[in-house]
Structure 1
Amino acid sequence: MKATIHRTWTSLLPEGDAHPYRTGAWRPQLNEWDADDLDVVAGAIPDDLAGLYVRNTENPLVPAFERYHPFDGDGMLHAIRFAGGRARYRNRMVPTRALAQELAAGGPQYAGIAEDPRLSRHPGWGARGGMKDASSTDVIVHRGRVLSTHYQCGDAYAFDAETMEHLGIEPWVPQDTGISAHPKVCARTGELHYFRYGKAAPYLHYGVVDARGERVHDVAIPLPGPRLPHDMALSARFVVFNDFPIFWDPALLPRGIHRPRWDPAMPSRFAVLPRRGRTDEVRWFEAAATYALHFANAYEDGDELVLDGYAQRDPMPRPQPELHGEYAWLMRQVDLASLRPSLRRWRMNLVTGACREEDLSSTLTEFPTIDPRVAGVRHRHVWSMTGKPGWFLFNGILHTDLDTGRERHFGFEDGVYASEVAVAPRPGATGGDDAWLVTFVGDAVRDVSECQIFAAHDVAAGPVARVRLPERIASGTHATWSSASQP
């Protein structure tokens, strides 16, 4: 391995920090690395694996005012590029405007998700206002640019997909609200589809950025009030948005209190409209009350639009102080075992307006990925992450075959945690599972990190290659794959 430190950042976190999401597997990283010819410590990198795997990370450099939530952490991108059986790695902090302000001020300037937004010393970004745009949630690649985004809306920070050089803020982002995490890029058209939301009517907007990087569409999706959408879905002809019955308590909002409220008596609703559709083309479909963070895919099947996602059986679990002490309020919010999400399918009939739903699995899992070649059309295979009970940590990979119902699982040993996997299709492959899976792994026991590669069709067999990184990286969330042939 040939590795040099590109830059070392300054941390303002307290000495002896004991916060569970700033220590252990979530210990933040200060070094940016340029590392080439990475060491392969087991197996061999497949010769036909060519492209970029990049993951976003909550990597806090600045403490909270009162209550730190892991989703508040400053963004750091980790990128590994494969070609010819070799790999190189780059990681870069996302130099957000908010981070620059806080480092200059020597302390926090923005309230986190679990804090009163009136603590913020600047107007801030975010669907609720007064919130830090940490740009640490999602990451996608569009027009050869790696884009990091934040889950409660903000800027899209761009990096060159080849060099990871920071390219600035995307100029097409609407400056009144920003955009949410989880925009979708259509491989067929090169378009990027996004959504944005907030506390002002009509509360939700849908937009499109074309293959040249120009914003060409932005329309309202009116909602009854402020909502908390986290993801959208894209089929070959339609886009899908959601209105779930969990939202800021409207009785408390006038007092500046942003407390989520769950109302199981209300239905879940899905908004369907054509790509680049108008507000008057929105159609609503109702389903059983739930909340879903992420969707695996959407596709058309005759008269029906099919949507697969992860329905939570307990969107507002109660704290368990005996298990987590002073952090009980936090741990239950990010624990998959408490939220109890599993794979569900909704079928929306575009002729009758009816919606049917069925559970496809009872396994508790989330953070799905599919072969990007079948995004928007019928898919057979889904790969997702299992979680360590009581924590927001990924301790395994689950492969679900939707045709047979068969599930295969790979579990990491205690103290080893993965990142959201990405699917890297093999050149010329025709099967939906004829691909490689790529993930970053942090080993908090041995204090090392690796990139591990799995055969997508046989994830239970374990990694076919383990590639050492120059330093242990913090645990993180979303990731993406961009093939070498992708523009």
Structure 2
Amino acid sequence: MLKVMNEERCTILEGNDSPFLNGAFKPNFKEYNADTSSLTVKGEIPEDLWGVYVRNTHNQVHEPLGKYHPFDGDGMLHAMYFNNGQAEYRNRFVHTTGFLAEKGAGNALWPGILEPDRRAFRGWGAIGAMKDNAGTDIICHAGKLLATMSQGSEPWRLDPVTLENLGPDPKLASVVGHDGIAGEFKIDSKTGDMVFLNYPENPPCINVGIANAAGDVVDYRRVDLPSPRWPHDLGITENFIIIHDLPLFFDAELLAAGKRELRFHDHIPSRFGIIPRANLHADVQWFETEPSFILHSANYYEHGDEIIMDSCLSFDPKGPGVSEHKDHNARIMAHLDKHQTKTRLHRLTFNLSTGKSSQTRINDEIVEFPVCANAVKGYPYRYAYASLFEPGQWLMNGIIKFDLNTGATTRYHYGPQRYGGEVHFAAKRNSQSEDDGYLIVFVQDLAADQSECLILDAQAIDQGPVGSITLPERIQTGTHACWVEGERLHGEPQHL
């Protein structure tokens, strides 16, 4: 079965030469239902693979208003559901208020992240001016997908298998209001709790909350900040939540004049706030480290009196010479190019008894989008998986596996002109160890003009895929993804 369920009308002008609307970033407009009876399968789909892999993408539909940034496009989810050696593929736009409004108008109504002050309508996000595109992050909690944009959006819910749009989650929406939910929410697989955050500009603060396994918000609090910040990640351990206050934020003088320009203040230390999960309103214990910026972390966990945090750090997040670029597309790419920002995996340690912190580099490889198995999120672990990057581009060209006990690494490169998104670990049914499972990723082959879903043995990724499934058409490059175990498709499992 292969069926086109819908096709959106594209209004992007044929002559638009933005590099972020062409090539690897070329958007999709058709929504498909397909299964392995109609898709080409190479190798095998393992019988012990049960669940769904979902990737989010910023998928622009309309000719942009002004300068286009690759994080401006509408959210489109791509999902591959596995069960009993078979697979089903679906893709759907996230029906946000902004998406539906522009669909009705037949053209773009909001500018992008680079020119928010050009808006003619109320917007969303940390600065309250952006279109809520829900195109950055994706996770499953309480039996439903949750899609958001990183700067904060309404909590958009979808069915994890059919991708049916279910609208904003009323429980979450009633608590967060216009501040919305930012990306990087974390789930404790042992309790089913989800922690989330947002960071509104007025007042300058981080709001952090906890939703239980049923999706009810059980706590929510505000942490005041010296000025508006632009954090990204959030951490969870068995007993604590970790928030970030980093020195990449809006220039204060320009902000006072109504202009928003992110600058790296290399004289201001990075701060990390530790908050007890059992008492969200307790005093925040702050730790300082060398100035840096962090997009993503592999994991956080407790070791005695210490919090361990494994994160990708950049000590020059704007990249060398970025301010010298006159072309805005070159400035965007310089900021996204991980080989310019020199993003590497580090271990940060915060001692709750002494108040001291330390920081060491785990590996010299340029990597980002580090992940671990869902089962060990927030707990001691051994293996992390991250994406390797094409120099000079924002394209992921392979996977690296870190053994954090031995320091050993293994890797798999997708091949020439082949690029992926965020990879995720899928445990086998009756998995016997932390890495007893598969790595799942969507890749695009620019030379063949097609995309595939790759399945790799997590214990032997250097051997290449055990199976691959060719998608109905080439999908654009994307950011975050998630793996939803089969037993979590209808709700969080109850652990005794």
TM-score (norm. length: structure 2): 0.95
Offset, 1:322: 10
The aligned counterpart of 1:29 is 28
CA distance in 1, matches of 2:323, 2:151: 28
Offset, 1:325: 5.9
1:85-117 Cα deviation digits (max 9, x unpaired): 1100110001111122223333322221111x2
Unaligned runs of 5+ in 1: none
CA distance in 2, matches of 1:176, 1:23: 33
Residue 323 to residue 262, structure 1, CA distance change in 2 (3 Å)? closer
DSSP-derived class of the 1:280 partner: coil
CA distance in 2, matches of 1:480, 1:237: 23
One-letter code aligned to 2:129: G
Offset, 1:313: 2.8
Offset, 1:266: 1.0
The aligned counterpart of 1:467 is 469
The aligned counterpart of 1:452 is 454
Moved more, 211-220 or 227-236: 211-220
CA distance in 2, matches of 1:254, 1:326: 23
DSSP-derived class of the 1:464 partner: strand
User: Pick from 191, 197, 200: which aligns with 1:198?
Assistant: 200
| Conserved? CA contact 1:57–1:76, under 8 Å | yes
DSSP-derived class of the 1:176 partner: helix
- Give matches, 1:47-446, under 5 Å: 47-115=47-115, 117-171=116-170, 172-173=172-173, 174-319=176-321, 327-446=329-448
DSSP-derived class of the 1:270 partner: strand
| Conserved? CA contact 1:247–1:262, under 8 Å | yes
CA distance in 1, matches of 2:468, 2:35: 15
Offset, 1:63: 2.5
DSSP-derived class of the 1:140 partner: strand
| Conserved? CA contact 1:202–1:220, under 8 Å | no
Q: How many residues align?
A: 485
| Conserved? CA contact 1:92–1:164, under 8 Å | yes
CA distance in 2, matches of 1:208, 1:313: 31
The aligned counterpart of 2:494 is none
Moved more, 237-246 or 37-46: 37-46
1:4-32 Cα deviation digits (max 9, x unpaired): 00101111111133211111111100100
TM-score (norm. length: structure 1): 0.97
One-letter code aligned to 2:110: Y
Offset, 1:404: 1.0
DSSP-derived class of the 2:177 partner: coil
Residue 84 to residue 324, structure 1, CA distance change in 2 (3 Å)? farther
Q: CA RMSD in A?
A: 1.6
| Conserved? CA contact 2:187–2:377, under 8 Å | no
Offset, 1:234: 0.6
CA distance in 1, matches of 2:243, 2:53: 27
| Conserved? CA contact 1:221–1:279, under 8 Å | no
One-letter code aligned to 1:269: R
- 2:487 aligned with 1:485: yes
DSSP-derived class of the 1:199 partner: coil
CA distance in 2, matches of 1:40, 1:345: 42
1:309-336 Cα deviation digits (max 9, x unpaired): 0001321114569999662122112111
CA distance in 2, matches of 1:83, 1:104: 38
DSSP-derived class of the 2:60 partner: coil
Offset, 1:202: 4.7
Moved more, 95-104 or 85-94: 95-104
| Conserved? CA contact 2:291–2:315, under 8 Å | no
Unaligned runs of 5+ in 2: 492-496
| Conserved? CA contact 2:426–2:440, under 8 Å | yes
Offset, 1:40: 4.5
| Conserved? CA contact 1:57–1:77, under 8 Å | yes
One-letter code aligned to 1:130: A
1:407-429 Cα deviation digits (max 9, x unpaired): 11211222111111110012232
Offset, 1:254: 1.7
1:249-284 Cα deviation digits (max 9, x unpaired): 011112221101111111111000111533432110
| Conserved? CA contact 2:154–2:178, under 8 Å | no
One-letter code aligned to 1:102: E
| Conserved? CA contact 1:28–1:60, under 8 Å | yes
One-letter code aligned to 2:258: G
CA distance in 2, matches of 1:72, 1:182: 18
The aligned counterpart of 1:9 is 8
One-letter code aligned to 2:95: P
One-letter code aligned to 1:94: V
One-letter code aligned to 1:300: E
Offset, 1:69: 0.3
CA distance in 2, matches of 1:111, 1:392: 22
CA distance in 1, matches of 2:323, 2:5: 43
Task: State percent identity of aligned pairs.
Answer: 36
1:234-257 Cα deviation digits (max 9, x unpaired): 111111011111100011112221
Moved more, 50-59 or 173-182: 173-182
CA distance in 2, matches of 1:452, 1:250: 46
DSSP-derived class of the 1:285 partner: strand
CA distance in 2, matches of 1:159, 1:327: 33
